[in-house]
């Protein structure tokens, strides 16, 4: 079995190899107007500043701003003339900006530390104890379909 990190490393190497820094992914993004740092930014320059994040190195201020407003709208994917999954590139850059790829974090995580506790709490209000036992906790061998 592979690992997430090994898969990311392959994706990053392929992306760095193929990306021409043309900036069309940035041009296609519907979210750039929501980042003040991106006013008047050069699309190729923003992409150039993004690529180091994929390797855990610091990205430019503009690149991090772009990562922060990415909402996975996917319009960037079809825009890439090299066939790179640019949405995935932004996601990997987000991991880099969070410090997950080895470098210093350039943005803080928005993950709620109580996320799962809240999920369990809402589940307790919306599902019966038997449903929670069967649907959330039972092992596959204990399950059936109905």
Partner 1 sequence: MSEKVVFWYGCNVVRHGDIIHSSIEILRAIGLEVAPVGGPSYCCGTSKDANLRAADGMAKRTVGKFNDLAIRLAEGGPPPADGTGAAASGAPAPAEPLAAAKVVTWCPSCHRHMNQFMGEYTDPQFPMSHFTQVVHAQRERLRERLVHRVERRVVLHRHFGFREVDVNPLVEDLLRLIPGLELVDSDVSVPGHMCSALVSVPAALKDVTRGVCDLAREAGADTVATVFHSCQRVLCGLEATEPFKVVNYVSLLGEAMGLSLVDEYKEWKLAGSADAVLERIGADRVEELGEAFVREQLMPELLRAPAK
Q: How far is the CB of 63 from partner 1 (least distance, A)?
A: 16
Contact 69, 34 (CB under 8 A): yes
Q: Which residues bind partner 1 (CB under 8 A)?
A: 1-8, 30-31, 34, 68-69, 71-75, 77, 85, 87-88, 91, 94-95, 98-101, 109-111, 114-127, 131-132, 134-137, 139-141, 143-146
Residue placing its CB nearer to partner 1 in the complex, 29 or 47: 29
> Which two three-digit tokens encode residue 26?
């940035």
Neighbouring CB atoms inside 10 A of 1's CB total: 3
Q: How far is the CB of 143 from partner 1 (least distance, A)?
A: 5
Residue placing its CB nearer to partner 1 in the complex, 19 or 70: 70
User: Between helices 86-97 and 4-18, what is the axis angle to 10°?
Assistant: 120
Q: How far is the CB of 42 from partner 1 (least distance, A)?
A: 22
Q: How far is the CB of 54 from partner 1 (least distance, A)?
A: 13
Separation in Å, CA 49 to CA 4, 15, 42, 46, 87:
24, 14, 11, 5, 16
């Amino acid at each position: 079995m592979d690992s997430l990190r090994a898969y990311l490393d392959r994706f990053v190497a392929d992306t760095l190899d193929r990306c021409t820094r043309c900036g069309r992914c940035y041009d296609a993004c519907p979210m750039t107007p929501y980042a003040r740092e991106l006013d008047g930014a050069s699309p190729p320059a923003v992409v150039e500043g993004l690529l180091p994040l994929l390797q855990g190195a610091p990205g430019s201020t503009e690149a991090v701003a772009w990562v922060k407003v990415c909402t996975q709208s996917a319009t960037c994917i079809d825009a890439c003339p090299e066939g790179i999954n640019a949405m995935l590139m932004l996601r990997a850059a987000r991991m880099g900006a969070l410090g997950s790829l080895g470098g210093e974090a350039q943005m803080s995580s928005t993950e709620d530390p109580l996320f799962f506790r809240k999920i369990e709490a809402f589940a307790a209000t919306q599902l019966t104890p038997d449903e929670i036992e069967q649907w959330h906790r039972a092992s596959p061998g204990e399950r059936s379909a109905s």
